[in-house]
Amino acid sequence: MSALALALALGGCATAEHQLPPPTSAPAPPPPATSTPAGAPVDVHSPPLPGMPPVSDPHNVYSDAGANMLNDVTKAAKPLVYVPHTKSGDVWVIDPVTFAVVGKYPAGIEVQHVVPSHDMRMLYATDDLGNTVTPFDPNTGKPDKRIPVIDPYNMYYTPDGSAAIVVAEARKRLIWYNPKTWKQESETLTPNCAGIDHADYTPNGRIGVFTCEFDGRVAVVDLQTRTLLRTIDMPKRNRHMGPQDIKLAPDGSVFYIADSDQNGLWVLDGAATKVIKEIPTGPGAHGLYLDREAKRLFVTNRHEGTVSVLDAYTGAPMTKWKIPGHASPDMGGLSADGKQLWLSGRYNDAVYVLSTDDGHLIKQIPVGKGPHGLCVWPQTGRYSLGHTGITR
């Protein structure tokens, strides 16, 4: 979560230099639906979103993002790890072979995540307080000029690549941008979704489920018409550090939702209509990552300094890995070969590199203040849905 969003959620107000600016342009109406008749229900059985790459294997929507399955674009990328910092406002770049920091670049005030573009040709560091995204060229690891964007706590893309979805956490809304011109197109208000931050999509690419950290619920959005369909309360509505990261099961049967205050996961049905069970993992459950075979789900327990390993299809606990010392594993991603899990240490100014074989700590790397949504690059897959590297 951002510092500003937390202050607003707790009833505070922004300081003068951090007042939220007005949108840069009047939002245009969303594009009309083209394949679903007006009034027809939009659900997991609807036809795929037009323009979305087809699902190769319904039993594993991540089948095209297996170990070393780089595409023609990502094959040219320089292997690097990008670490954004919420406190020091910069992005540190790490060589994953030597574990050395090879670059430090100012990127704003409160830099939250490094997000790969839909076509995987660019990475964007999101600065919610500075209202910009900083593009990084993955072929060189170097930044370019910042782009004005309203409150980019997090960022996603529609599966067809037609829009960038800025998750404006402090504003309780999604702001839709043209990803080529960065002109604002429309907004989707989510007034009952305080702390909107993380998302994942149904296999057909039509429905997005966004977590509401400060409201103890999720918001379900039609990604084509850009409308809010419904909100779904968790069985216990934690509003301090509630629902956070979310991950679709490989077969699309359920969504796993990490809830830090609940110390575990809620399991939402694949149609995004109801919560069906709870899975305890550990204090501060936060980030969710799949192995390259999409058989195991890794859950970072930020307050316990552990990573729970679950069966990706059933959610059954398999094992738990303890990071030595006082650790705070947060967000990150896997190496292209799937052998390493890289995680930011949010409260310890560190990055952890874990073996995905047995969870042992390969390396702990000191970094800047408040490391958050780090991005390991390149990632495998055909296209990116955003965040720190959700690829399919």
Q: For the chain, what percent of residues have pLDDT higher than 70?
A: 90
Query: Which residues lie below 8 Å from residue 1, measured CB to CB, with a gap of 6+?
Result: 153, 169, 195, 197, 213, 214, 241
Mean pLDDT of 215-235: 98
Mean pLDDT of 268-275: 97
Mean pLDDT of 291-309: 98
pLDDT per residue over 14-26, tens digit each?
333 334 444 444 4
Q: For the chain, what percent of residues have pLDDT higher than 90?
A: 88
What is the pTM assigned to this prediction? 0.91
Q: Give the pLDDT of residue 43.
A: 77
- Mean residue pLDDT across the chain: 92
| Total Cβ atoms within 10 A of residue 272 | 23
Q: Give the pLDDT of residue 120.
A: 98
Q: Give the pLDDT of residue 1.
A: 62
Residue 146 pLDDT > 90: yes
DSSP structure string for 44-110? TTSPPPTTSPPPS-TT-TTGGG-TT---TTGGGS--EEEEEBTTT-EEEEE-TTT--EEEEEE--SS
Peptide bond into 235 cis (omega under 30): no
> Hey, what domains does the chain have and what are their CATH numbers?
3-11+64-391 (2.130.10.10)
Structure-token match 């690549």, residue found: 161
pLDDT per residue over 127-145, tens digit each?
999 999 999 999 999 999 9
pLDDT tier at 40 (50, 70, 90 boundaries)? low
Mean pLDDT of 281-289: 98
Assigned token pair, 195: 């702390």
Assigned token pair, 26: 């009047």
Q: Give the pLDDT of residue 3.
A: 52
Q: Give the pLDDT of residue 8.
A: 44
Q: Give the pLDDT of residue 15.
A: 30
Q: Are 128 and 151 in contact (CB under 8 A)?
A: yes
| Total Cβ atoms within 10 A of residue 189 | 12
First vs last C-alpha separation in the chain: 26
Residue 243 pLDDT > 60: yes
Residue 62 pLDDT > 90: yes
Q: Give the pLDDT of residue 45.
A: 84
Residue 202 pLDDT > 60: yes
Q: Give the pLDDT of residue 20.
A: 43
Q: What is each CA distance from 263 to 53, 363, 370, in whole angstroms?
A: 36, 26, 22
Q: Give the pLDDT of residue 12.
A: 35
